[in-house]
Amino acid sequence: MSAHCIRSILLGLLLVTSLAHGQGAVRIDDVRVVDPDAGSASWPRSIAVLDGWIVDPDALDGRDVRVIDGSGRWLIPGLYEMHAHVPPVADAERLDDVLTLFLAHGVTGIRGMLGERGHLELRAELAAGQRFGPYLVTSGPSLNGTSAPDPTAARRIVRTQAEAGYDLLKLHPGLMPSTFAALTEAADGLGIPYAGHVSIGVGLDRALAAGQSTIDHLDGYAQALVPDDHPARGRPPGFFGMALAEALDAGRIPALADRTRAAGVWNVPTQTLIENIAIADLDALAARPAMRYVDDETVTGWRERITGLRQPHSATALERFVDVRRALIRGLHTAGAGLLLGADAPQIFNVPGDSTHHELELLVAAGLSPAEALATGTVNPARFLGQPARGCLRAGCVADAVLLDADPLADISNVRRIRGVLRAGSWLDRADLDARLDAVAARARPAATGPD
């Protein structure tokens, strides 16, 4: 058997290893526990874990405990990616790679925003530790102008997805006002949230009035930022409002932000997707270290897609578009409207996990403090999901955490400096994470692994 075959088998075995959630006891000593809500870190102390939960240290008395030396490092709650795309279960290798990339980058929970029937079983497998990956919240297949062309079809989809057990409904473009009204009435009646895009025909006003659980990509806000008397009012917005850049009035942000807060609607900005497309240097994007997990054909396709999206617009207009979006993020945060961390991965130059880190950095660039940015991916998702036992590191919390080599409150980019990941009480050290990441890279770029 060739060395290449042996290596492939070993890499495959790494991916199917169970996390065995809730097994045994772990104690992390000499660690600074970060509280994103308070914007502070504790003095070095110990965190005790038993059967997947953080517990009081005396609960470990008399047990066989795995001890992790924190060496004065920083422990943060596991991150949430609130706008993820999970591959279909039929594409098993790609699915495993995406799940691995998320978890190895400290993302211990994801909200899948384009689901399928197989994701219901996948959700159960991940919860039981039978599959390597994060906690999964999943939508069903999207409701859009094609799948839900009229109120009758919309009500049917809402009922079937609610009864099937999906966590939420995903909204895509093309919905008409009457269809949206029927959809929201049915969903509210069955207690299933709806989230995602704001169709042009629906508009931001209706989405806020309905209490859409999340608006993703800041969809619909660009149209609302165009003054009523501006010639661009009613013009096709282009990619999330890119075609309206010169007409955007940032002075309208405070009122929109206040209305968003009052409506109780959360936003998932996915700013890294927008900045990749609008202003990022293409060579720099292609040179990111995380591109080793992406094949050359995909990278070429991403370049071509960006070139096409930018072509109708001037560089000045695209820069203004990004600046106004950053001001909108800052305005929503200042007004107290909820923000959730999400990058929309895997999408254009957004590698799962790595792009979540980029999104944190862009939230800080928009005006949030490192602690506030960190909260969008930890305590905020817990509040949004109504699960106070997540996004925290005290007794009674699910043991999802990330051990960092440097202080994320001093520099948000330190979230990249991962020493290990704790997923539901199962500890993954740096060597294990690297082996799994190397396996993903070997599949994406087999020529780069060298000769047998």
Q: What is the pLDDT of residue 15?
A: 43
Among 354, 334, 365, residue whose Cα is nearest residue 271: 365
**End-to-end Cα separation, the chain, in angstroms:** 11
CATH architecture of 3-76+392-449: Roll (2.30)
Residue type, 148: A
- What is the Rg, in whole angstroms, of the alpha carbon atoms belonging to the chain? 22
For the chain, domain boundaries: 3-76+392-449, 217-385
CA angle 438, 440, 443 (to 5 degrees): 110
By C-alpha distance, which of 152, 26, 36 is closest to 429? 26
Q: Give 195's contacts (C-beta < 8 A, 6+ positions apart).
A: 113, 139, 168, 169, 170, 171, 212, 213, 214, 215, 216
Q: What is the pLDDT along the chain (452 residues), one digit of tens a residue?
A: 444 344 444 444 444 444 656 568 999 999 999 999 999 999 999 999 999 999 999 999 999 999 999 999 999 999 999 999 999 999 999 999 999 999 999 999 999 999 999 999 999 999 999 999 999 999 999 999 999 999 999 999 999 999 999 999 999 999 999 999 999 999 999 999 999 999 999 999 999 999 999 999 999 999 999 999 999 998 999 999 999 999 999 999 999 999 999 999 999 999 999 999 999 999 999 999 999 999 999 999 999 999 999 999 999 999 999 999 999 999 999 999 999 999 999 999 999 999 999 999 999 999 999 999 999 999 999 999 999 999 999 999 999 999 999 999 999 999 999 999 999 999 999 999 999 999 999 999 987 554 33
Both structure tokens of 185: 């009435």
Supply the pTM of this predicted model.
Answer: 0.94
Strand-pair partners of 339: 267
- Of the candidates 165, 279, 273, 167, which has an alpha carbon nearest to the alpha carbon of residue 219? 273
* Main-chain dihedrals φ then ψ at residue 84, nearest 5 degrees: -110, 155
Are residues 113 and 84 in contact, defined by beta-carbon separation less than 8 angstroms?
yes
Question: Which H/E stretch holds residue 258?
Answer: helix 253-263
CA 101 centroid distance within chain = 12
In a 10 Å sphere around its CB, with 0-12 CB exposed, 13-18 middle and 19+ buried, how is residue 193 labelled? middle
Residue 24's pLDDT is: 83
pLDDT of residue 20: 59
Could you give the CA distance from residue 360 to residue 33 in angstroms, rounded to a whole number?
19
Only one residue has tokens 């689901």, namely 115
